[in-house]
Amino acid sequence: MFWIVEEAAEKIRSMEIRGAARIARFAAETLRNFAESVDSEFDEKMKRAAEILLNTRPTAVSLYNAVNYVMRYEGESDEEKRRSAVKRGEEFIRWVETAHEKIGEIGARRIRKGSVVMTHCNSSAALSVIKEAFRQGKIEEVFATESRPRLQGHLTVRELSKAGIPATLIVDSAARYFMKEVDCIVVGADTITANGALVNKIGTSQIALSAKEAKVPFMVAAETYKFSPKTLFGELVTIEEREASEVAPEEILKLKGVNVRNPAFDVTPRDYIDVIITEMGAIPPEMAYLVIKERLGYAVFEEGELKISPKHFD
Ligand code: RUB
């Protein structure tokens, strides 16, 4: 029965399912489906399933928040617990679905008519903003970075093209070169820390740096489940470092004295962020702590383990 979860974990690990929102939604769906199939020892089996899912990719806190949300199920009997877990899984999925639309609406208000926007990687939240702003006739063109080494920028330009939005694909290192033509940056988030820093695809912080230099507003589109309760306790976000083979061919990897490193994410300090667009509203990064407190509940230590008690989604 654990095959449902093992198979799902492999899809996340191999990046067949990728992007913080999709990963979170998929984890909630997987736990919901798993809960439906558990016939005995509900708590033990759910805990094992949660661990398998959490042990896939370390950086996006959306995965942790999704798993924790479902795992806060209640009930006396296994049947009651199952019903509660299934319901919570569905609530989380609804959270993911509804947040995108609201983020699109709120974010689009921050974009001026005739704007050229730059985005990085492939973020469903950032694309919600861009698509809605385009629908309102505000966007002229979108620069999309290719996002080495996994080239998520190709997914972005495909999606933009499908939506009829004029797009220009550039290499990551051309971001500063084109910055003078850009009116606004919109990126997504894997994690927002308690102090308002953004963890997102490697290269995001370089774009933020050149945006600040050029006085181009830097906007982050992040659902509230991208905020990290764990960082309230000073826990640092683990930056996933992936296989060197994603970056360089075998003949380079074999060279004597040459090391190849492949961090998948980086950290952009809050000073570089003008606004974070959540489904609850447009907030300054300094308000991250409040989002964690109000939306996700405080992190607490229970039986020696760090857990959160997310508030019920309404
Ligand atoms: C994806 C990435 C995205 C965020 C936000 O990294 O960094 O910008 O996850 O995406 P990877 P979304 O491809 O390595 O998973 O807004 O869709 O959650």
Q: How confident is the model at residue 152 (pLDDT cuts 50, 70, 90)?
A: very high
> Which residue has its alpha carbon closest to ligand 1 atom 6?
19
195 torsion bin: left (phi>0), alpha (psi -120 to 50), beta (else): alpha
**CA atoms of 86 and 176, how far apart (whole Å):** 47
Does residue 100's CB lie within 6 angstroms of at least one atom of ligand 1? Answer: no
Q: Which two three-digit tokens encode residue 55?
A: 């042990």
For the chain, percent of residues with pLDDT exceeding 70: 95
Number of Cβ atoms within 10 Å of the Cβ of 73: 21
Start-to-end CA span in the chain (Å): 31
Q: How confident is the model at residue 300 (pLDDT cuts 50, 70, 90)?
A: low
Catalytic-residue membership of 183: no
Q: Which two three-digit tokens encode residue 94?
A: 């609804």
Q: Which two three-digit tokens encode residue 237?
A: 């976000």
Question: Can you say whether the dihedral through the CA atoms of 82, 84, 86, 88 is positive or negative?
Answer: negative
Does residue 223's CB lie within 6 angstroms of at least one atom of ligand 1? Answer: no
Does residue 21's CB lie within 6 angstroms of at least one atom of ligand 1? Answer: yes
140, exposed or middle or buried, with CB in 10 Å at 0-12, 13-18, 19+?
Answer: middle
Catalytic-residue membership of 43: no
pLDDT higher than 70, residue 255: yes
pLDDT of residue 294: 83
For 95-136, write each residue's pLDDT tens digit: 999 999 999 999 999 999 999 999 999 999 999 999 999 999
Domains of the chain (ranges; CATH) run 3-99+297-306 (1.20.120.420), 102-295 (3.40.50.10470)
